[in-house]
Amino acid sequence: SACEKGSRWQSAYNLLRMFDKRRLVPDQISYEATVSACQKCSQWQLAVRLLGRMRKVRVAFDHISFNTAITSCEKDGQWTQAFMLLGAMQQMSVNPDKVTYIVCIGVCGKGVQWKQALSLFRNAPEVDDMLFGATMGACAESCRQHKH
């Protein structure tokens, strides 16, 4: 967590790797802190790989784990990767929450995918002002990106 706050994703990742070298299994909190440090420093590829590693070594994960990885994709406009993570959540019976939908809708705006944003909005289990605002923002961002 200190590495996350100091934007030291390499330190967080190296600490996680030390677990492997000592034949220890990091827990969910260790992985999520490292994924979060990666997210804060735009290391979306590593964040996604760590999520996959969690699954491989059978560390528990939840919607928060996925939301953090999806947010790292959103920061870099990686909408296809964000959608793959959303699909993986559903395949693994991890229920997306409102934050999941808001972040995925946001990445649609950066990726000029306004139709996808509207589809997510329509399929969201719960619609409120925040989700509506995110959808409107994504559509507006798509228009801005498209004009340039």
pLDDT digits (tens, 9 = 90+) for 103-122: 999 999 888 888 999 999 99
| Average pLDDT of span 69-85 | 90
Q: What is the pLDDT of residues 16-67, one digit of tens each?
A: 777 777 877 788 888 888 888 888 888 899 999 988 888 888 888 899 999 9
Confidence of residue 3 (pLDDT cuts 50, 70, 90): very low
What is the token pair recorded at 18?
Answer: 């030390």
Residues 6+ apart with CB under 8 A from 20: none
Q: For the CA atoms of 108, 62, 35, 2, what is the dihedral angle to 10 degrees? A: 130
b/e burial code for range 95-126 (CB count within 10 A of at least 16 → b)? ebbbbbbbbbbbbbbbbbbbebbeebbeebee
Burial class (CB in 10 A: 0-12, 13-18, 19+), 11: middle
Q: Measuring CA to CA, how many Å separate 13 from each of 33, 35, 36, 110?
A: 9, 9, 11, 28
Name the helix (H) or strand (E) containing 14. Answer: helix 9-21
pTM for the model stands at 0.81
Largest CA distance in the chain: 53
